[in-house]
Structure 1
Amino acid sequence: MSDKRVYSDNPRVLAVQTLAKIKNGAYSNLQLNQVIKQHQLGEADKRLLTTLVYGVIQHRLTFEYWLTPFIGNKKIDAWVRELLYTAMFQMEFLDKIPEHAIFNESIEVAKILGHVGTGKFVTAILHNIARQGLRDIDDIKDPIQRLSIEKSLPVWLINELVKQHGEEKTRALVETINDAPSQSIRVNTVVATDDDVVKSLESENYTTVKSLVADHAYIVSGGHVASSKAYHDGWLTIQDESAMLPVESMHLTAEVKTILDAAAAPGGKTTQIAQCISADAKITALDIHEHKIKLINNNAQRLHVADRIQTRILDARKVPNEIDTKFDRILVDAPCSGFGLLRRKPEIRYDKTLEDVQNLAQLQFDILDSVSQNVADNGMMVYSTCTILSQENDDVVTKFLLAHTEFELIPTQTVKNLKSNRGEDVLHVYPNDYQTDGFFVATFKKRASIDTANIKK
């Protein structure tokens, strides 16, 4: 970041400052929310700030490729690089801002955060870009390297996706990876109907479109839905459509009385389970962090389902030693690399490595291996991740089934019967399938154990 302590409500200044913080490890969504809360910004400036921040993160490798010929080996401050990236993003991806305005604003930001010399340096770079143009990505001969730069995804990730899906399917899969995510909501049927929520939102000038992916779900536009009365009253919660599918596949009926949510925070799926069960059923929701347990409790209170949920700080790998209950249903929405969430958390692509994925796969198996001991006979366990890599998905399922012959894999079924002709029991949802987050869902059923002592000889 710039050494100068600058307070400004200029969205371009804030974008550069925010990007510098994210580059140092802050999460994009949290950092953006914090900046917006701390500054007096109109709706247009909020949109510009958000667009610049996400745009630069999503295309960082592309901008690095374009900027390198103009910088060479010259060492420049990180924030200056971010500033130049914001300028290139506006030039290449936004069509309503004239080039002269982009140049003038960028040079002004350079002066605000730096000094006159910085302004001259940025001026020179921008004029050279305008004069010479940006080099063509199609000139990259290697197809993996070319796709990496084009979609701004690390080479190792492209390699893994091509290995698992082939080049054609990988290209289709990553084609929408940088699209803006939709704002989707789940109706809280404990206190409201779909019609109640739709009418309430439309009365505040939101537009709703019924989801084709999940039940009681809608795509909402026309403003930040967390500001709506329906949200405030607990009639709805914000949740991606594909994130609702693991709970849909749990076969929750009135006979299901005991449920374990093994990695529950922040509580989206926990509260979804709560609206699908009878009032006398109980959910045990676990997380290893106290502050995340508070998030679950807060969500449950807002959605009027706290009486159905018991939270507990516990590592899911310790469940058999700490909990005696045999549960009718267990949900393991496992910690994962999150590569299905690249639209919402674009910085993930730069933070994770193949070694991280392999370590997470071991953790996922360990959690499944542990909590499976607490599944009741004829009970079910659902395993889900928000990633698109087979190491954390199909490979974990295969390893678990080899170690646990008392479980069988059964077809994952959703309310809207997604991919009914898919030819496999597990459900893969890729970002390009329905314009949602990428998700994976597998459903296991525990066979009834045989009491050999009571079998007549």
Structure 2
Amino acid sequence: MTKFKLRSSALDILLRVDNGGAYSHLLIDQLIKSNRVAEKDHGLLTEIVYGSIQRKLTLAYFTKKFVKKNAKLDDWVKWLLYLSFYQMYYLERVPDHAVIHEAVGIAKERGHKGIASFVNGVLRQAQREGFPDFENIVDESEKLSIRASHPQWLVNRWIEQYGYEKTTSMCEENLITKPFSVRIQPQKISREEAMLQLQQEGYEVKPSIFSSQGIIVEGNVLKSSLFKQHLLTIQDQSSMLVAEMMDLSDNMTVLDACSAPGGKTTHIGEKLNNTGQIFAYDLHEKKTKLVKNKAADLGLTNITTQAADSRNLANFHTEGTFDRVLIDAPCSGLGVIRGKPDIKYQKTEQDISNLANIQKQLLENISPLLKKDGKILYSTCTIDQEENEQVVQAFLKENPKFEVDPTFFDSLPNDIQASFGLSNVGLQIFPDDYHTDGFFLTRLRLKNQ
């Protein structure tokens, strides 16, 4: 694929994400797997697609300087400018003249001579005059919104919950590529063996403090022999903490109420040493197949999958069935913006409230399935208090027989205990704390155990 075709394909992805709500990481993966993109160009494709989405509000701000206020741009023209501005402003290794040449070629192919001339004029003006700074923006939250490209409603919401300084740190962290992390399959290889082999293959590695199975890897670990042999699972470090904090023992009966795509489910299976039984549910059959296939790849035989609305699991199981329950609740995903930048533009405050109601229903309806001496692990990949602390507080208020497990905080890894501010109901990990996904988790149990 030529650089022209690469940028044209990137533009197609951006349009599908913006107009149809498609997910950029899935579209990039599909294009790469089609073998139409040379391996040496995988990085550039990913960079310009993710970067243009991550910086959309900043790029729109730039566009206002160079395009007349009343000009009506077709979506593809707008995104072609964004794509080009991103490369010119943020990518030093890509020469401006190459960006402009390719953009004008795309404009000729998709539009007409007048559009091509317009694109050429706008980009050359930006090249001559330079891009505007943000100092003329008076309102501080608006300035942060545009500079760090997060919707202003979200910036204001985080400022209200966490303050301006923390919000700034999170927004800036969300623009940086996070480190790659993997989890070993401990029945097949030790962490030490895996790290040694990865080093021999040329990767830089270090152990994760979140999980005894976790490794932080610099480089494309998907190409490693260990990954190809299903000895490694791609998983964010904060996500690994979930199974670690479930207080699991061999031969337990475990419920994973919202299991797809299976990273946490299979981690539980590994922590159980492939003993006991895990009942893994998700709403759609297609998603439960992902869990089933992942378990098969890892050689785990203690996982049973089924499609169901987990608010109705009383139809499948009697009260007091499970030793452990994981409710990794559907959420806004505002903790994983770095890897899925589309999320910050697609979600609304109403979405957060709707999801919080579902989360409460899940806790309310699933909790009777717990054994008297059992424990529930509640987690989300968001940093919003309405989906985290407030959900747990509401559940505990309406169900006074439950409490936050008093041993939960003491059983956290020492480095995490020392580093994070702990609320009275759980642990909130922010994306800028350890360069991981933002995550919330807590452990609940019945009182008088």
Contact 1:9–1:40 under 8 Å retained in 2? no
Bigger Cα displacement from structure 2, 335-344 vs 209-218: 209-218
Separation of aligned partners in 2, 1:276 and 1:63: 46
The 5-angstrom pairing of residues 382-421 of structure 1 reads 382-410=377-405, 411-412=408-409, 413-420=411-418
Bigger Cα displacement from structure 2, 175-184 vs 294-303: 175-184
Task: Quickly say closer, same or farther: Cα 1:180–1:423, change in 2 above 3 A.
Answer: closer
Contact 2:209–2:415 under 8 Å retained in 1? no
Note the C-alpha offset of 1:8. 8.6
Match of 1:434 in 2: 434
Bigger Cα displacement from structure 2, 68-77 vs 324-333: 68-77
The one of 253, 276, 280 equivalent to 1:281 is 276
The one of 136, 143, 146 equivalent to 1:146 is 143
Q: Determine helix, strand or coil for the equivalent of 1:69.
A: helix
Match of 1:272 in 2: 267
1:360-399 C-alpha deviation (Å, 9 max, x unpaired) = 0000010011110111012100100000100000000100
Match of 1:445 in 2: 445
Separation of aligned partners in 2, 1:245 and 1:280: 20
The one of 356, 363, 375 equivalent to 2:358 is 363
1:285-331 C-alpha deviation (Å, 9 max, x unpaired) = 011100001000000000111x1111111111011232115211000
1:410-452 C-alpha deviation (Å, 9 max, x unpaired) = 2343345513473534111100000010000011012359xxx
Separation of aligned partners in 1, 2:30 and 2:70: 35
Identical counterparts, % of pairs = 38
Match of 1:454 in 2: none
Separation of aligned partners in 2, 1:358 and 1:344: 23
Task: Quickly say closer, same or farther: Cα 1:420–1:328, change in 2 above 3 A.
Answer: farther
Bigger Cα displacement from structure 2, 399-408 vs 167-176: 167-176
Partner amino acid, structure 2, of 1:427: L
Matched, 1:76 2:73: yes
Between the two proteins, the alignment pairs up a number of residues equal to 441
The one of 48, 52, 56 equivalent to 1:56 is 52
Task: Quickly say closer, same or farther: Cα 1:360–1:176, change in 2 above 3 A.
Answer: same
The one of 289, 306, 310 equivalent to 1:316 is 310
Contact 1:215–1:416 under 8 Å retained in 2? no
Bigger Cα displacement from structure 2, 42-51 vs 409-418: 409-418
Stretches of structure 2 that go unaligned for 5 or more consecutive residues are: none
Partner amino acid, structure 1, of 2:241: L
Note the C-alpha offset of 1:247. 1.1
The 5-angstrom pairing of residues 5-404 of structure 1 reads 10-24=5-19, 25-71=21-67, 72-223=69-220, 225-254=221-250, 257-305=252-300, 307-324=301-318, 326-404=321-399
Note the C-alpha offset of 1:90. 1.2
Partner amino acid, structure 1, of 2:80: L
Match of 1:453 in 2: none
Match of 1:424 in 2: 423
Separation of aligned partners in 1, 2:77 and 2:6: 16
Q: Determine helix, strand or coil for the equivalent of 1:444.
A: strand
Note the C-alpha offset of 1:80. 1.3
Give the superposed CA RMSD: 1.9
Q: Determine helix, strand or coil for the equivalent of 2:176.
A: coil
Contact 1:215–1:415 under 8 Å retained in 2? no
Separation of aligned partners in 2, 1:406 and 1:276: 28
Per the normalisation by structure 2, the TM-score is 0.94
Separation of aligned partners in 2, 1:351 and 1:239: 24
Q: Which runs of 4+ in 1 moved over 6 A?
A: 6-9
